[in-house]
Structure 1
Amino acid sequence: MSTTTPVEVGLIGAGPWARTMHARMLAAGPETRLAAVWARRASAAREVAEPYGTVVAGTLEELFDRCEAVAFAVPPAVQAELAVRAAKAGKALLLEKPLGPDLASARAVADAVADAGVVSQMVLTKRYHPSTRDFLRRAAQLEITGARSCYLHGAFLGGEFATGWRLEQGALLDLGPHLLDLLDAAIGPITGIRGTGDPRRWVELTCEHENGAVSQASLSGSVLLPRARTRIELLGPAGELVFDTSDIDHEECWPILRAEFAAAVRSGRSGELNAARGLRLQELLDAATPR
């Protein structure tokens, strides 16, 4: 098959993230084509599919028949269940964070991906922005002693993203994967982690890294701010390196994400942001959960 042939992607989910990001990104091409949409409510799936002239699959099996890859825009518990089925059906997977609602379900997804030998990729949004990649390149050249970081917003206070699983499980499961992924990548592997607080209000993490550095991470989706705040400050004997996403245009992430997923599917080789990475982050989340 020609490498220029668009990857046929089926979308599972019809919520706000499916409407505003996944469907639009996959339909924009040229590397991918939105082949079908499936959701448990057919009327919701139709609202997502119609603007792009694609079909609504009547069943999950019909969606699988119409695509070679599956993108997920559903709550973690639903993703964990259906991703295993998609992997067993031989489909490449574009997965949201967290991989599952808990460590056992995340491990089941990663195991299914490994057993089936299918391509997988995590939607860790900020990782696909050029400024993030520049930050990680610069961080790799530094001796880092410690770090402070935060991911804060007020989306849990109301609006379409104040959904059931986010309100129930809080910022650790929703925002934690993004920040822990960046800290682990920028400073070095996290070897120890402790969490305090209430993830539904505010949680504070202390991370110990393989190179001896210590980092702090503050997470909350329940604080009123003019805009979301994601900031990492790396400090060491040579000075400070700051990464602040306030000026990032997330629209620049989607073409890179789409192109890299399509390239992985066509080559049959997953990149570093695969299901195994998702499991690694879930292990950290589990260890950090205040008990």
Structure 2
Amino acid sequence: MRIGLLGTGPWASRVHAPSLASHPDVAFTGVWGRRPEAARDLAAEHDVRVYDSPEDLFADVDAVAVALPPSVQSDLAERAAHAGCHLLLDKPLATDVASARAAAQAVARAGTASVVFLTARFGAQESAWIAEQADAGGWFTAHADWLGSLFAADSDSPYAESPWRREKGALWDVGPHALSVLLPVLGDVSALAARRGPGDTVLLTLHHHTGAASTATLSLTAPRRAAGVQVTLRGTSGVASLPPQSEGPQDAYRRAIDALLTSARTGGGHPCDIQHGLRLTELLAAAETSLAAGGATVTV
């Protein structure tokens, strides 16, 4: 499959581009970016074409991979779907529901395949664990800590200068990850409430259609020694904890590429398709509404 890349930032250069270039079933076709010089450098590194416009790239490929801020991604996803391209998207799909819905509707009309890359859902151990716990059932509560130190005083992260992350914070950056683990195990959310903690920390309380309840603590301002990911389930099977990440993001991203290739070939959907991305956007937007209302419960 001919796949082009939209985006030239650290995530694009460290994960997307090398994964596309090394995948045996992908013809990495070219790069477009908002910074032409960065696009030229990334394209030269992988010996692919640099494109002057997204539409020029769309015309030459079967699918596009997107590594751009969500406010840019949603519009380009809609345009790519209109051009008949399959989509390998990043999280969050968008930071407003209208944009996310417009992109999802464009994909539905075009009948193209879509996958939203969520590292835990495509990690080898994590995805197997999620499927196992979903099959087991009987969970009545869970808690997720998704704590990053991106904006901590001692941070050396290459993503610390990301404007959209500084604006939207942990809710929108790591919130999709936490939700992507909790929802397939406990079911969709019927109501939620959100409160602010220190820094950009957000505390979520989720009520699921299954009757289960869960909580999540999200942050990008945790001290480096306090950062980490933990998800604990409690139910009739006892206690289960998400296994730690055992591989780099490139391995997970290659599985996301595999998922897109399979979906495009078979015409079947994927649990992490653009509709899932839309649902995550709806839940995160509802959490913002709750924050603005001082932690009031919002029906979703």
What TM-score bracket applies, with the shorter chain setting the length? over 0.9
3-state SS of 2:178 partner: helix
Among 137, 150, 163, which residue is 2:131 paired with? 137
Aligned to 1:213: 212
| CA distances 1:2-46 after superposition (whole Å, capped 9, x unpaired) | xxxxx1001011001110011011111112121010012211001
Aligned to 1:257: 256
Matched, 1:282 2:276: no
Counterparts of 1:122 and 1:237 in 2: how far apart (Å)? 32
3-state SS of 1:90 partner: coil
1:239, distance to aligned residue in structure 2 (A): 1.2
Counterparts of 1:32 and 1:198 in 2: how far apart (Å)? 44
Among 51, 57, 66, which residue is 2:60 paired with? 66
Compared CA separation, residues 249 and 61, structure 1 to 2 (3 A): closer
1:74, distance to aligned residue in structure 2 (A): 0.5
Aligned to 2:149: 154
Counterparts of 1:22 and 1:56 in 2: how far apart (Å)? 15
Amino acid of the structure 2 residue aligned with 1:43:
E
Contact 2:16 2:250 in 1 (8 A): no
Equivalent residues, number = 285
Amino acid of the structure 2 residue aligned with 1:154:
S
Contact 1:195 1:204 in 2 (8 A): yes
Compared CA separation, residues 227 and 130, structure 1 to 2 (3 A): farther
Aligned to 1:27: 21
Among 95, 98, 108, which residue is 1:104 paired with? 98
Counterparts of 2:141 and 2:269 in 1: how far apart (Å)? 31
- After alignment, is 243-252 or 184-193 more displaced? 243-252
3-state SS of 1:100 partner: coil
1:238, distance to aligned residue in structure 2 (A): 3.2
Counterparts of 2:16 and 2:100 in 1: how far apart (Å)? 21
1:230, distance to aligned residue in structure 2 (A): 1.4
3-state SS of 1:145 partner: strand
Matched, 1:87 2:81: yes
1:227, distance to aligned residue in structure 2 (A): 7.8
List alignment gaps of at least 5 residues for structure 1: 1-6
Counterparts of 1:142 and 1:280 in 2: how far apart (Å)? 22
Contact 2:15 2:250 in 1 (8 A): no
CA RMSD of aligned residues (A): 1.7
Amino acid of the structure 2 residue aligned with 1:143:
G
Contact 2:117 2:253 in 1 (8 A): no
Contact 2:113 2:269 in 1 (8 A): yes
Compared CA separation, residues 262 and 199, structure 1 to 2 (3 A): farther
1:248, distance to aligned residue in structure 2 (A): 4.6
Amino acid of the structure 2 residue aligned with 1:51:
E
Contact 1:38 1:59 in 2 (8 A): yes
3-state SS of 2:144 partner: strand
Counterparts of 1:25 and 1:195 in 2: how far apart (Å)? 36
Aligned to 1:48: 42
Aligned to 2:175: 176
List alignment gaps of at least 5 residues for structure 2: 293-300
3-state SS of 1:118 partner: coil
- Correspondence list, 1:236-255, <5 A: 236-255=235-254
Aligned to 2:193: 194
TM-score by length of 2: 0.90
Contact 2:4 2:30 in 1 (8 A): yes
Compared CA separation, residues 198 and 78, structure 1 to 2 (3 A): farther
1:253, distance to aligned residue in structure 2 (A): 1.4
| CA distances 1:54-112 after superposition (whole Å, capped 9, x unpaired) | 01012222211221101110001110111111111111111111111211111111111
Counterparts of 1:195 and 1:183 in 2: how far apart (Å)? 16
Percent sequence identity is 37
Aligned to 1:4: none
3-state SS of 1:70 partner: strand
Contact 2:19 2:250 in 1 (8 A): no
Counterparts of 2:40 and 2:113 in 1: how far apart (Å)? 28
1:226, distance to aligned residue in structure 2 (A): 3.9
